[in-house]
Amino acid sequence: MEYVYTFDGDFCDKHELGNKGANLVIMTGLGLPVPPGFVVTISAYKMYRDTGRLPEDAILRAMADLEQKMGRKLGEGLEVSIRSSAPVSMPGMMDTVLNIGNMEEVKASIRKIFASWDNPRAVEYRRLNNINPTLGTAAVIQAMVYGNLDERSGTGVVFSRNPSTGQKGLYGEFLMQAQGEDIVSGTRTPEPVSKLKQLLPAAYAEMQQIADKLESHFCDMQDMEFTIESGKLYMLQTRNGKRTGAAAIKIAIDMVNEGLITREEAVLRVTVNDIRQILHKQIQEPYKYQPLVKGLNAAPGAAKGKVVFDPVEAVALAKTDPSIILVRVETSPDDIQGIAVAAGVLTQKGGLTSHAAVVTRGMGKPCVCGAEGINIDTAAKQFTAGGITIKEGDEITIDGTSGLVYQGALPLSDAGFPPELEELMNIADGFKRLGIRANADTPEMIARAIRFGAEGIGLCRTERMFNAPERLAAIREFILAESPEKKTAAIDRLGELQVADFAALFKELKGLPIIIRLLDLPLHEFLPAENEVTDPVVKQRIAELKETNPMLGHRGVRLALTTPEIYAMQIKAIQEALKMVPANVSIMVPQVITDQEVLNVKRLLQGINVKFGVMMETVRACMRAGHLARAVDFFSFGTNDLTQAVYSFSREDAEKKFLPTYLKLGVLHDNPFEVLDVKGVGRLMETAIFWARRARKDIEIGVCGEQAGEPSTVAYLHGIGVNYVSCSPFRIPLARLVAAQVAIQDRLHRAAYDPSVSPINS
């Protein structure tokens, strides 16, 4: 095995030479002006790590070769620089040594570079970025050129495109009469690289040509380091440039149009985080600020505004000033109007699937929850965090992408849906197999979902429609009515209101399909608390309906068997609304365990022409999937409830009490309510899908739990052959991207084994 390679050879494996070393070989091969040098490999690093020995003979030979190329001897007119070169970029984490003038120093510096692989900041960087600590680094030895030699010398960093916006053209900065360290140390302020055009036009023009050449070689935006010595340009390094989400998308689309990359490559190159970044507001330069506290990153995006502790007050205040951050110990369904008007929500307690988290994600509002480091004193209308007191009306900024909370109103960047994202999404849609629908239950959410590219509404919950005061009164009357006549009158009134609800939803659909889920709430949820009423009859009815374990109790399809009037009313309301606004409607029922329940509900469907399906959210339903498949048109896996059932966990209790410990100890890798548990819940789903399709080949299968919009879950669900996922509107673009990426990867994988399959679709 060779331990040393010169730049002018053809060996450019980055696993041996590291990124920097491999790219110097490539640049040299392309005929670019690279000061000569050589690389001491990662294998040499490993030998040094294990035995303390360097490949000294090979280093001496390479140095003699370098001296010959330069026509100067080390220490006698020739100096070298030594830099680290790891196979993954770890910018600025390891050491660099410049101006080395004798062989002992060269060897000592190589040892220093190798040792710097394990310096504390490099170790921490690898930990934060999930980089394998055993990879190791090479050392790059290169003849020095001097940016500080005279007034026609300088040094700088240049990108082939703007890394913030993606705009094509040289972008970067430089300093005349300086070495690289002068730029990094910040003692002098560099100039924009465009200025070099006037100062040294020939060097600038050459740099533009080099940037073009490197882009067409690497087919990606380049981040290059250069030095100009007495007017002559030298390239010291190139690598694929880091970029913002907006730039990543623009560059991918532009490079397709320039013929540099395929449409598949464009889709594979953009990451979920890139899209997340531009769909939501962000704090500009967040590293400049010291956070007050860190909570859970419950709903992405940043928001700033005045702190309000009371949701009712929030509603009143928002009429004049909508920049409000609602701060609560935890939120409950009663807070919904306060949440709706706030710019963001901060809670002291509650996990990533707590009420606040789920509701804000659906609304696309930033939320930090479970910020245990704050202490709310509701009576005094203030909270404290790290010794600082924030009073009602004080401004704070929350970042739901990172979970950080800051004092004061910080500058935010705008969110948007730029035309390049639209274009990328259209390209992605051409590759994906998986359908992407939205969970939405208001006209506004439907409109937003369609704007983000939803192909329909996969889950329209109807519980919310019972919440407004007049509906709550009607359902209470229905539950408490003593005579059949009063019962009928109450349910009829509710039905009329529901017709308007459904018609309003249908108007927004623009021909896309919607799946309406019939009510899934225990009836006692509609009644006041027992201690709030005095009427003994009402008190008794409340006591009758009270359940020890409502989550496993009298809800969902079970209601249809004991109280068929409610589902009958909802079905009739849908039918009436369809007469007013024609739409492509399907109906599904929750909490099913057997086809006998399905047959009972089907009786209520007489005279309405809709597709009918069940939610698969009990273990028994999964085990009876073959039977159920014969009774319905479609399945929709409710992975929230199914996860609870498979784990025997109550979600709220688990997240409040013990799940954080499980995650901290590594007993569970992920929160199963966020990331689908492939090994348990996923296996059950695969079994159910197998039996369902055996019974009915064309059964349509969707997934509508919270996990269905999580990127790794989307990839898994593609793999097990579900027809569509349904997620909150803001996750639609992410799901579209991932669905396309996994479809492309599938094809590449098949093409690798089967020569008749083309890896390219377009």
Query: Exactly one of 638, 711, 729, 733 binds Mg ion (CB under 5 A); which one?
Result: 638
Residue 696 makes CB contacts below 8 A (sequence gap 6+) with 629, 630
80 or 704: CB nearest ligand PEP: 704
Range in contact with Mg ion (rule: CB under 5 A) among 83-91, 485-493, 638-646, 664-672: 638-646
- Side-chain-facing half-sphere of 422: CA atoms under 13 Å: 6
Two structure tokens written together for 761: 């679709």
- Tell me if 702 contacts Mg ion by CB under 5 A: no
Residue 705 contacts which entry, Mg ion, ligand PEP, none (Cβ below 5-8 A, type-dependent): ligand PEP
179 or 640: CB nearest ligand PEP: 640
Structural element, H or E, at residue 53: none
| DSSP per-residue string spanning 292-349 | SEE-EEEE-SEEEEEEE--HHHHHHHHTT---EEEEESS--GGGHHHHHHSSEEEESS
Q: How far apart are CA 161 and CA 475, in angstroms?
A: 61
Residue 366 contacts which entry, ligand PEP, Mg ion, none (Cβ below 5-8 A, type-dependent): none
Query: How far apart, in Å, are the Cα atoms of 58 and each of 11, 64, 143, 740?
Result: 16, 10, 17, 48
Query: Exactly one of 106, 459, 515, 678 binds ligand PEP (CB under 6 A); which one?
Result: 459
Please, what is the minimum distance in Å from the beta carbon of residue 436 to Mg ion? 20
- Tell me if 105 contacts Mg ion by CB under 5 A: no
- Residue number of the CB closest to ligand PEP reads 638
Please, what is the minimum distance in Å from the beta carbon of residue 205 to ligand PEP? 60
- Tell me if 704 contacts ligand PEP by CB under 6 A: yes
Task: Please give the positions annotated as active site.
Answer: 355, 704
Query: Exactly one of 215, 225, 617, 677 binds ligand PEP (CB under 6 A); which one?
Result: 617
- Tell me if 595 contacts ligand PEP by CB under 6 A: no
Two structure tokens written together for 603: 């009786």
SS3 (DSSP) at 222: strand
- Tell me if 641 contacts ligand PEP by CB under 6 A: yes
Q: Identify which of 389, 455, 392, 395 has the alpha carbon closest to the alpha carbon of residue 428.
A: 455
- Tell me if 351 contacts Mg ion by CB under 5 A: no
Query: How far apart, in Å, are the Cα atoms of 10 and each of 27, 30, 31, 374, 604?
Result: 11, 11, 13, 59, 75
Query: Exactly one of 461, 476, 651, 736 binds ligand PEP (CB under 6 A); which one?
Result: 461
Range in contact with ligand PEP (rule: CB under 6 A) among 262-270, 324-332, 526-534, 639-647: 639-647
Residue 639 contacts which entry, ligand PEP, Mg ion, none (Cβ below 5-8 A, type-dependent): ligand PEP
Partnered with residue 404 across adjacent β-strands are 294, 399
Q: How far apart are CA 4 and CA 65, in angstroms?
A: 12
Q: How far apart are CA 329 and CA 347, in angstroms?
A: 5
Give buried/exposed letters for 486-508 (b at 16+ CB in 10 A, else e).
Answer: ebeebbebbbeebbebbbebbeb
299 or 614: CB nearest Mg ion: 614
Cβ(176)–Cβ(153) below 8 Å: yes
- Tell me if 509 contacts ligand PEP by CB under 6 A: no
Query: Exactly one of 435, 638, 709, 729 binds ligand PEP (CB under 6 A); which one?
Result: 638
Partnered with residue 171 across adjacent β-strands are 159
Residue 534 makes CB contacts below 8 A (sequence gap 6+) with none
Site string for Mg ion, 604-623 (x = CB under 5 A): -------------x------
Query: Exactly one of 300, 705, 709, 733 binds ligand PEP (CB under 6 A); which one?
Result: 705
Please, what is the minimum distance in Å from the beta carbon of residue 217 to ligand PEP? 48
The structure tokens 């360290």 sit at 181
In 469-540, DSSP assigns E strands to 513-517
390 or 704: CB nearest Mg ion: 704
- Tell me if 641 contacts Mg ion by CB under 5 A: yes
SS3 (DSSP) at 158: strand
The structure tokens 């696309």 sit at 364
Please, what is the minimum distance in Å from the beta carbon of residue 709 to ligand PEP? 12
247 or 588: CB nearest Mg ion: 588
170 or 515: CB nearest ligand PEP: 515
- Tell me if 655 contacts ligand PEP by CB under 6 A: no
359 or 583: CB nearest ligand PEP: 359
Give buried/exposed letters for 179-209 (b at 16+ CB in 10 A, else e).
Answer: bbebbeeeeeebeebeebeebbeebbebbee
382 or 462: CB nearest ligand PEP: 462
Please, what is the minimum distance in Å from the beta carbon of residue 591 to ligand PEP? 8
What number of chain residues touch ligand PEP (CB under 6 A)? 10
282 or 640: CB nearest ligand PEP: 640
41 or 728: CB nearest ligand PEP: 728
Query: Exactly one of 640, 671, 723, 741 binds ligand PEP (CB under 6 A); which one?
Result: 640
SS3 (DSSP) at 500: helix
| DSSP per-residue string spanning 621-681 | HHHTHHHHHHH-SEEEE-HHHHHHHHHT--HHHIIIIIHHHHHHHTSSSS-TTTS--IIII
Residue 570 contacts which entry, Mg ion, ligand PEP, none (Cβ below 5-8 A, type-dependent): none
Residue 163 contacts which entry, ligand PEP, Mg ion, none (Cβ below 5-8 A, type-dependent): none
Structural element, H or E, at residue 439: strand 435-439
- Tell me if 731 contacts ligand PEP by CB under 6 A: no
Amino acid letter for position 627: H
- Tell me if 353 contacts ligand PEP by CB under 6 A: no
Range in contact with Mg ion (rule: CB under 5 A) among 64-72, 451-459, 488-496, 637-645: 637-645
Please, what is the minimum distance in Å from the beta carbon of residue 270 to ligand PEP? 28
The span from the first CA to the last CA of the chain, in angstroms, equals: 42
Name the percent of the chain in helix, strand, coil, to the closest 5: 50, 20, 30
Query: Rule CB under 6 A: which of 283-322 touch ligand PEP?
Result: none
Residue 281 contacts which entry, Mg ion, ligand PEP, none (Cβ below 5-8 A, type-dependent): none
Two structure tokens written together for 733: 């673009």
SS3 (DSSP) at 721: coil
245 or 638: CB nearest Mg ion: 638
Residue 707 contacts which entry, Mg ion, ligand PEP, none (Cβ below 5-8 A, type-dependent): none
Cβ(246)–Cβ(418) below 8 Å: yes
Please, what is the minimum distance in Å from the beta carbon of residue 674 to Mg ion? 16
What number of chain residues touch Mg ion (CB under 5 A)? 3
Range in contact with ligand PEP (rule: CB under 6 A) among 61-69, 282-290, 638-646, 688-696: 638-646
Q: How far apart are CA 618 and CA 681, in angstroms?
A: 11
Residue 25 makes CB contacts below 8 A (sequence gap 6+) with 5, 7, 8, 9, 10, 11, 12, 17, 39
Site string for ligand PEP, 382-421 (x = CB under 6 A): ----------------------------------------
Site string for ligand PEP, 517-556 (x = CB under 6 A): ---x------------------------------------
Residue 4 contacts which entry, ligand PEP, Mg ion, none (Cβ below 5-8 A, type-dependent): none
In the DSSP assignment, the letter for residue 9 is: S
Residue 277 contacts which entry, Mg ion, ligand PEP, none (Cβ below 5-8 A, type-dependent): none
Please, what is the minimum distance in Å from the beta carbon of residue 704 to ligand PEP? 5
Q: How far apart are CA 702 and CA 706, in angstroms?
A: 13
Query: Rule CB under 5 A: which of 118-177 touch Mg ion?
Result: none
| Binding footprint of ligand PEP on the chain (CB under 6 A) | 459, 461, 520, 617, 638-641, 704-705
| Binding footprint of Mg ion on the chain (CB under 5 A) | 617, 638, 641
